[in-house]
Structure 1
Amino acid sequence: MSRYDLTDFEWRVIEALLPNKPRGVPRVDDRRVLNGIFWVLRSGAPWRDLPERYGPRTTWDRLMDVIAKDHDGTVQMIDTSIVRVHQQGATGKKGDRDHCLGRSRGGLTTKIHALVDAQGRPIKLTLTAGQMSDIASAADLIEELPEGAMLLADKGYDANALRNAVTERKAWANIPPKANRKEPICFSPFLYKARNLVERFFNKAKQFRRIATRYDKLVPLHRGYDSLEVGLG
């Protein structure tokens, strides 16, 4: 067994979430295929170097949706993190569709926007080009913010538009005010301390080399890796 493989306990939790269609083509060993995907995520190796013991590869986009539904929505946190784009992920042609590739100080980058719950578990993810502002995808991420919830975010999210969007959902945005804000804002430094969970979420996600560095040109593929890793890793 590889050190990247799922433990027996992890597999018992995941197995019930996988599709089970006995008719048609016989299914492959789901655990073996998932272990193969995790091997690529953790090692950062190309798919062609996947050891034969893992068999054929496939995608598991449905898992993130299933796992994300089981979250604590009373407190939610939003933040972003930059990932460098490897030269293999920057091979798009001029005029090609948007692949969320942007230029910043570090060269070609992609920005991961994440919304997590009170336990640091992912609720929703999205990608933008690296130079986009942190708040660019905030409105989309909080679309399903429940009534009475509290949203935690850093000063980069201190904008009236976002605060109004949260208020419309009958929730509260506990965001520290910027120095140039004129009107007083209700802010609790004590409750804000819990925001470290979203930073720890990104720290955990970037333990996977395939997440810390983007090797894939296509957005759906890289987002799929993000979803699978943060949902199960």
Structure 2
Amino acid sequence: MTETRGGRKRWEVDDGLWERIEPLLPVIERRFRYGGRRQLDDRRVLCGILFVLYTGVPWRYLPQELGFGSGMTCWRRLRKWNEAGVWQRLHEMLLAGLRAAGVLDLSRASVDSSHLRAMKGGAATGPSPVDRGKTGSKHHVIVDAHGIPLAVTLTGGNRNDVNQLIPMIRAVPPIRGKRGQPLRRPKHLYADRGYDHESYRDQVRRFETTPHIGRRGTEHGSGLGAHRWVVEGAIALLHWFRRLRLRWEVRDDIHRAFIALGCAVICWRRLRTAL
């Protein structure tokens, strides 16, 4: 794994990100009588979770010499923090920061999906039509005009894209960061031919959003790609995390936790550049 500038490993949590994460973590009361072994530092455990996200290494092979604790310790902490809503709140906080910095643009949004193989099956999987019927899942992604991930949903690999169009719009959280009403709905929505269905166009309009969806049976060159390419770039960034290229988790909540954490890391990179 390569290093970032200054020699810091990519999975190490910098001070700015940690200042935003630490207040979100649930507080564990320390028992002074029969306290048992002292709990491993949260920041080190988070580095271990990020190490797995970046490298895709199995939990049991998490390098002990790096001080992350055991793979099971990191797995339990990831699950616990996910149940407490830490990753979703972190993502929403960073989106608000991006809006305050003038980076977020909801004048238009784009949606798309990507298949990935589910190596061990589990919830939210199904036979993939693009992978010879092998068990897989789908990442359904909606981004703003600059490719910032607003929400990602997870389904089985056999689910039709258009069925997730409305759930994706609803999954966009209210984005604060400025005075007045929080932003939530894009003004325009761009999608490819996989979302071509008149009833869904009507449903999108009910959100006061104008749909721009490619039509089946027409020639290429609709011009939608000028706005849609950002979602393809966002999917590429998500799958740059090796743990999100293949799904190894049987439990869908653990995979969703990795997705939310990946979205937060992408948002933090954008925000750090803007600050």
Partner of 2:170: 143
Distance 1:160 1:79 in 2: 18
Gap regions ≥5 residues in structure 2: 1-7, 32-37, 97-103, 173-183, 267-275
- Within the alignment, does 1:221 sit opposite 2:235 as a pair? no
Name the SS for the 1:113 alignment partner.
strand
Residue 199 of structure 2 aligns with which residue?
161
- 242, 251, 261: which one pairs with 1:209? 242
Letter paired with 1:79:
D
Q: In the alignment, which residue of structure 1 is the partner of 2:100? A: none
Measure, in 1, the Cα distance between the counterparts of 2:26 and 2:169.
32
Partner deviation per Cα, 1:177-230 (whole Å, 9 max, x = no partner): 2226xxxxxxx83x7512211111110111111100111111111111111112
Measure the CA separation in 1 of the matches of 2:240 and 2:50: 12
Alignment of 1:53-72 (within 5 A): 53-55=67-69, 56-57=73-74, 58-59=77-78, 60-61=81-82, 62-66=85-89, 67-68=91-92, 70=96, 72=105
| Cα pair distance change 1:50/1:174, threshold 3 Å | same
Q: 2:51 aligns with which of 26, 39, 55?
A: 39
The equivalent residue for 1:198 is 231
1:5 aligns with 2:43: no
Q: For residues 57-105 of structure 1, what are the alpha-carbon distances to aligned partners after superposition, in whole Å with 9 as ceiling and x for unaligned? A: 212433442223535433221110011122xx23x6xxxxx44232434
Alpha-carbon shift at residue 20 of structure 1 (Å): 6.0
Alignment of 1:125-140 (within 5 A): 125-140=152-167
Structure 1 residues 108-157: Cα deviation after superposition (integer angstroms, max 9, x where no partner): 21111111222322222211111222112111111267466111111111
Q: In structure 2, do the counterparts of structure 1 residues 40 and 169 end up closer, same or farther at CA, with 3 Å as the change threshold? A: same
Q: Greater share of helix residues, 1 or 2?
A: 2
Give the paired residue count: 217
Tell me whether 103-112 or 165-174 shows the greater mean CA deviation: 103-112
Question: 1:30 aligns to what?
Answer: 42
Match of 1:100 among 116, 125, 128: 125
> Contact 1:174–1:192 (CA<8 Å) still a contact in 2?
no
CA RMSD, 1 decimal: 2.8
Taking only the aligned residue pairs, the percentage that are identical comes to 29
- Give me the whole-angstrom Cα distance separating, in 2, the residues matched to 1:148 and 1:196: 17
